[in-house]
Structure 1
């Protein structure tokens, strides 16, 4: 049975990297992969166009071209290879172009919002982007916590590489493996092509990306909320002194930057809702972001752990110490399960916060249910604070006495 005529598709091959010593991407290898992708595209006899832009110089001209292409009909597929830089003053990600340097970033590089904003105007699901990008150190640190996206309506697949050692070029291993995959079967769906690429490629040390279009935006904005505000709830009274257990860190997890490219920083909106007393709404929004991180990056990924810890902090702000304790314990367990050492500062901080919340729970059955797990993790993850374990053991002993019906201290 003959195939139906394929729908119109525009394919853009975009490779960008500085032409001077700050180039860290192996551009000849990118162009070789692009040649294979071009052959695979024509093998489909797709109605549409194939455009290849390599080493663009002018960000204004490139933005105009992207605007024109994104406004066209049919499906748009972009294969993007390049280097990601961070404009520290604007807190904005840029794609480095041929003449880009750190001091001329704003005038010589393409802000990724420019691409994301054009894709956002297209119908959800009508855009697919494959990326093979190298992140500078500050970008790599950021995306490890926040993930990487070009908007909820975009299929986004690919790999981000950390900065290489000095004088070493990064090979586009994801793009190379993808080109071979498409050459073997150009009719694969984007998800199938990505899955085969990951199975075939050598991608150790890279952050893998797999995002399907969302029907609804996951962003949380206080202005969109029409329900009544919730009155702030206070921590339940505790029989423990106010400062029992390890203190909360001075830099709460909610202070981490989000850096999402397609919408305002969700952290800012979530924090504002929590400070206005709308804890349930803030927690629901954080849960949406956690689910998105789990879909995009998988369990145990830095973005997924981050949003789990955001939920734990929101439970603390909302006066739910038992829930906060459970969530901090879960975060500590996940960090240990993915191979972090018990002495890792993030692991220690998670257990410290779990114990701090445990000390705020009234001496009820819920506190007793959590006691064994808090004590087990505390014994496995020593705190840097003095007499923290002794304080916890005393609380557990008190709860044990209460549970057995004996006199309380």
Structure 2
């Protein structure tokens, strides 16, 4: 069955433009339709800087009604309307005072996908937010509905009003797809973020399920976000711990499935409690700096991210990185670099200035020892810390 692809790039004309959204369309248009869709063939609809929200809605409804997989590539900027303070995708004629009438309400997208079969709708998003919308997103998720798998990023306001950003994430996605092969979406997302580089440290990273990884609303399936690679065996025979379903867990079974099930059902405290008990058992059996214990610390760091607690996630990743260095692991060891990179990313999601300042100092110290592979990472931490010092 052929797929349907909608390429939507929209941003205001004039001084209100934050991102040159339409600049990505030639790169996306060069990708074979089947690669864009992940199907043998696909119908592609392109909307470049549309003027009227109703015209966009008409195209959305037609795409949502089409049988087969639906993939949307949306590039643009988010703004809030002044009356209801709801997010809108700004269109060509949108201004701060006319968002309510000239922008596309974001909930229109959610409603159009509501009746589509689960697993048939994918969104790839590269969005930029103005200052007001960025503050709004600190305490609310960008709701894309339960039936759509979402990957992408939301970038903060540019440092200067005269700066027009480049949709770097979507251009990276398009560049990867131009190879003629579409990797699994989670992998495509990871590769695109890696190409964005240091400028993406402050982004909100959108996760499957419509939420945001590391910020409020981050409801994402457990397995893709738990640490990958070989899992240590449960330590020391039977573990005296109850699973999140209330049943006893023995040391010969893999508790990761129970943890993932708890995350998927939103029982984040239960998932963390089970992981904490396995972490304590690993410490007793193998020692604090053992791979077995550090594995469970990493699981708990990711669980904190999925629960929308970037402060706890950052703090845990900092502890993992410090423990690995104290155990004699090299600063450029993949596990060390990964821990510091994840701490850095989660630090960028912490909205409380006091907590961010507290965590920023040890992060800067770690970054001086573990610069990582993204150029400018240490400078980014120092710059953000200077800005935090000026906030009351």
Q: TM-score range by the shorter chain?
A: 0.5 to 0.7
| Residues 9 and 22, structure 2, Cα contact 8 Å, conserved in 1 | no
Could you say which residue in structure 1 is the equivalent of 2:93? 99
Is residue 174 of structure 1 aligned with residue 169 of structure 2? yes
CA distance in 2, matches of 1:258, 1:88: 23
1:18-57 matches, cutoff 5 A? 18-38=12-32, 41=35, 46-57=40-51
Is residue 206 of structure 1 aligned with residue 203 of structure 2? yes
- Kindly state the Cα deviation for residue 259 of structure 1 after the two structures are TM-superposed: 12
Could you say which residue in structure 2 is the equivalent of 1:193? 188
Could you say which residue in structure 2 is the equivalent of 1:131? 125
Is residue 305 of structure 1 aligned with residue 309 of structure 2? yes
| Residues 149 and 156, structure 1, Cα contact 8 Å, conserved in 2 | no
CA distance in 1, matches of 2:270, 2:154: 20
CA distance in 2, matches of 1:11, 1:211: 18
Provide closer, same or farther for how the CA distance between residues 82 and 303 of structure 1 changes in structure 2, counting only shifts above 3 A. farther
| Residues 268 and 307, structure 2, Cα contact 8 Å, conserved in 1 | no
CA distance in 1, matches of 2:168, 2:82: 29
CA distance in 1, matches of 2:128, 2:6: 19
- Kindly state the Cα deviation for residue 170 of structure 1 after the two structures are TM-superposed: 0.8
1:52-63 matches, cutoff 5 A? 52-63=46-57
Aligned residues: 254
Residues 374-401 of structure 1 show CA distances to partners (whole Å, capped at 9, x for unaligned) of: xxxxxxxxxxxxxxxxxxxxxxxxxxxx
Q: Which runs of 5+ in 2 are unaligned?
A: 220-263, 272-297, 320-342, 359-392
Q: Counterpart of 1:29 in 2: which secondary structure?
A: helix
Provide closer, same or farther for how the CA distance between residues 160 and 78 of structure 1 changes in structure 2, counting only shifts above 3 A. same
Residues 323-376 of structure 1 show CA distances to partners (whole Å, capped at 9, x for unaligned) of: xxxxxxx689559865779x9434799xxxxxxxxxxxxxxxxxxxxxxxxxxx
| Residues 300 and 335, structure 1, Cα contact 8 Å, conserved in 2 | no
Higher relative contact order, structure no. (Cα contacts within 8 Å, ≥ 6 residues apart): 1
CA distance in 2, matches of 1:145, 1:178: 28
Provide closer, same or farther for how the CA distance between residues 44 and 107 of structure 1 changes in structure 2, counting only shifts above 3 A. closer
TM-score (norm 2): 0.55
Q: Counterpart of 1:163 in 2: which secondary structure?
A: coil
Q: Counterpart of 1:89 in 2: which secondary structure?
A: coil
Provide closer, same or farther for how the CA distance between residues 334 and 67 of structure 1 changes in structure 2, counting only shifts above 3 A. same
Provide closer, same or farther for how the CA distance between residues 90 and 182 of structure 1 changes in structure 2, counting only shifts above 3 A. same
1:5-404 matches, cutoff 5 A? 7-38=1-32, 41=35, 46-164=40-158, 165-202=160-197, 203-212=200-209, 287=267, 298=302, 301=305, 304-305=308-309, 333=315, 338=343, 344-346=353-355
Q: Counterpart of 1:187 in 2: which secondary structure?
A: coil
CA distance in 1, matches of 2:75, 2:108: 16
Computing the radius of gyration over CA atoms, which structure comes out larger, 1 or 2? 1
Provide closer, same or farther for how the CA distance between residues 185 and 193 of structure 1 changes in structure 2, counting only shifts above 3 A. farther
Residues 198-238 of structure 1 show CA distances to partners (whole Å, capped at 9, x for unaligned) of: 23332333222221589xxxxxxxxxxxxxxxxxxxxxxxx
Could you say which residue in structure 2 is the equivalent of 1:314? none
Could you say which residue in structure 1 is the equivalent of 2:326? none
Could you say which residue in structure 2 is the equivalent of 1:242? none
CA distance in 1, matches of 2:194, 2:314: 30
TM-score (norm 1): 0.53
Residues 275-313 of structure 1 show CA distances to partners (whole Å, capped at 9, x for unaligned) of: xxxxxxxxx98745998xx99x9566597117x9xxxxx
- Kindly state the Cα deviation for residue 10 of structure 1 after the two structures are TM-superposed: 0.2
- Kindly state the Cα deviation for residue 39 of structure 1 after the two structures are TM-superposed: 6.4
- Kindly state the Cα deviation for residue 33 of structure 1 after the two structures are TM-superposed: 2.6
| Residues 34 and 41, structure 2, Cα contact 8 Å, conserved in 1 | no
- Kindly state the Cα deviation for residue 149 of structure 1 after the two structures are TM-superposed: 3.4
CA distance in 2, matches of 1:45, 1:348: 47
RMSD: 4.0
CA distance in 1, matches of 2:61, 2:174: 26
Q: Which runs of 5+ in 1 are unaligned?
A: 1-6, 215-255, 261-283, 309-329, 350-409
- Kindly state the Cα deviation for residue 37 of structure 1 after the two structures are TM-superposed: 3.4
CA distance in 1, matches of 2:69, 2:270: 29
